[in-house]
Amino acid sequence: MTTDTVPPSPLAALAGQPHAIVERDGVRYTLLGTAHVSRDSLDAVRAAIDTGAYDAVSVELDTQRMLALSDPDALAKLDLVKVIREGKAALFAANLGLAAYQRRLAEQLGIEPGAELKAAADEARLRDLPVHLIDREVGVTFRRISARLGFFGRIRLVTGLLTGLLVDDEVGEEEIENLKQGDMLEASFGEFAKHSPALYETLIDERDQYMASRLRETSGEARDVLAVVGAGHLQGLARYLREETRDPHAICEELDFVRKKKKLPWFTMVVTTLVLGGIGWGFWRGGFALGADLLQQWVLFTAGLAALGCLLAGGHPLSILAGAIAAPLKPFRPGIPSGTFSALVELRVRKPAYGDFLALRDDAQTLRGWYRNRVARVVLNFILTNLGTGIGVWLAGARIVGKLIA
C-alpha cells in the first residue's frame, strides 16, 4: 500500500515569512518577501512552489542579474573592447563592485546572495511554469541614478563605490540585518543611500512601481502568480499593485527612459569657453608670455593629473602617455573621456587572458586582486584616469581665472 505525499497548503508554506496577497483583474498575486542572504527564505521559496498552487512565478531579477546568478562563466564571454568603446566602462565597474560585494557576503555567510531568486526560477522551470523577470535592468537604474544626482552627487557616489570596491572588510552585523529587510542594490551603495532621497527613490520606489507594472503586464492567462521579491520591496510593491490605474506598459516605458546627454553638454561648453577665452584673452591682453603661461597651466594640470591617475591604477607607460595626451583635449572631445583612450591602450598592450575573466569575481574583492587581474586593472585605469582629468580641469580652470584677475 502506498501513501501519496500531500503538499502543504500555500498559506502553510508562507507561515513565518513576510508576504502579501493582492487580487486584481481576476489574478491572485502572492508576494513573498525574502532576505537575499537567508537560508530560511530559500527554503520558503521552494516550499511555496512545491505546493503546486501557482500558474506562474515572477522574480526580482533582470536579464543581466539572472545571467550572473545562473552562468558563472558569463564574465568570461565579455567583450571588454566593446564595453569601453560604447562608454559602458563605468556601468561595468558598478556591476563588478556589486558582484564583489555579493561574493564577500557569500564567503562570510555561507550562502550566495540572491540564491532564493535563482531557486525560484529553477524550481518553476522544473515544473514547466512560466518564469518572468520583473525587475528593471540594473544598467537603467544606475544611469537614472547618475542623471538625478548631479555632478557633485556623482563624485560622492563614485568615491563611495571605489571605497567599497577596494576595501576588503567583513560586512558588519548591522549591515547584514539591514540587508535581510532591505534590497541588495541599496545595500551595495552603503551609507550614501541612507542620506540621498533621490538615490532611494530611484533604487527602491521606482522599482516598486516598475515591478508592479511588470506583474500586471506578464500575468497573461495565469490566475495565481507567485512573486519572489526582497522584503524591502514588499509594502511598496503591494501598494502599487493594488492602487495604480495607469497603463502598465506606459509606466515601464517611463521608468526605463534615460535622458540622453546632449552632444555639447553645458559643462563642456563652459570649460571650452573658459579655456579658449581665457588663453586667448591672455595672448591679447598680456602678450605671448601670459598666453603661453596659461596654456602651459592647462596642459600641465590636466595631462599631469590624468597621468598620475593612470599611474596609480598601475597603467602601462603607453597607457599613461595616452591619458596624458588625451586629457588637455577634453573640451574639444565632448562625450569621450580621456580614460577611454588610456584603457583601450592598456587593453591592447596587456591583453587579459581567459583566466583573468574567470578569476574576476574573486579578484575584485581585494585591492591586490584589482591590480593583479588585467580586466580589473583596465577598469581601474579608466576610472582613475578620468578622476585625475576631472580634478585637473577644475584646478587648471581656477588657475587661469586667478591669473587673469591678477
Question: For 324-381, what is each residue's pLDDT tens digit?
Answer: 999 988 766 666 888 899 999 999 999 888 777 777 777 777 778 888 989 889 988 9
How far is 269 from 190, CA to CA, in rounded Å? 34
**pLDDT for the residue 3:** 45
How confident is the model over 115-135, as a mean pLDDT? Answer: 92
Q: Which residues share a beta bridge with 30?
A: 21, 226
Mean pLDDT of 386-395: 87
Distance CA 358, CA 364 (A): 11
What are the E-state strand segments in 200-258?
A: 224-230
d(CA 72, CA 65): 11
Does residue 60 surpass a pLDDT of 70? yes
- E-assigned strand segments in 35-84: 56-59
- Choose between 191 and 115: higher pLDDT: 115
| Most confident segment among 97-101, 271-275, 398-402 | 398-402
Does residue 393 register a pLDDT over 80? yes
Distances (CA, A) of 353 to 3, 78, 87, 233: 56, 12, 22, 40
The string of pLDDT tens digits covering residues 181-217 is 556 665 555 555 556 677 777 878 899 999 999 999 9
The DSSP annotation for 375-401 comes to HHHHHHHHHHHHHHHHHHHHHHHHHHH
Contacts of 318 (CB under 8 A, 6+ apart): 345, 349
Q: What is the DSSP string of 160-208?
A: HHHHHHH---PPPHHHHHHHHHS-HHHHHTTHHHHT-HHHHIIIIIHHH
Q: How far apart are CA 80 and CA 92, in angstroms?
A: 9
Mean pLDDT value of segment 235-258? 93
Nearest to 380 by CA among 143, 162, 192, 77: 162
Q: Taking 50 as the threshold, does the pLDDT of residue 1 lie above it?
A: no
CA 166-168-170 angle, 5° bins: 140
In the prediction, which pLDDT does 165 show? Answer: 53
State residue 268's pLDDT score.
Answer: 60
pLDDT for the residue numbered 86: 75
Q: How many CA atoms lie within 13 A of 367 on its CB side?
A: 10
Contacts of 284 (CB under 8 A, 6+ apart): 291
Given a cut of 90, is residue 26 above it in pLDDT?
yes
pLDDT in tens, 6-19: 555 677 777 778 88
Provide the pLDDT confidence category of residue 2 given band limits of 50, 70 and 90: very low
Average pLDDT, the chain: 80
Q: Would you give the distance in Å from CA 72 to the centre of its chain?
A: 18
Highest mean pLDDT among 1-5, 167-171, 371-375: 371-375
Q: In the predicted model, is pLDDT for residue 266 greater than 80?
A: no
In which order are the strands placed within the sheet that holds 131-133? 19-24, 27-34, 224-230, 56-59, 131-133
Grid coordinates given for 206: 521606482
pLDDT, position 155: 66
Distance CA 120, CA 4 (A): 24
90-102 tens-digit pLDDT:
777 777 766 666 6
- Parallel, antiparallel or unpaired: strands 27-34 and 224-230: parallel
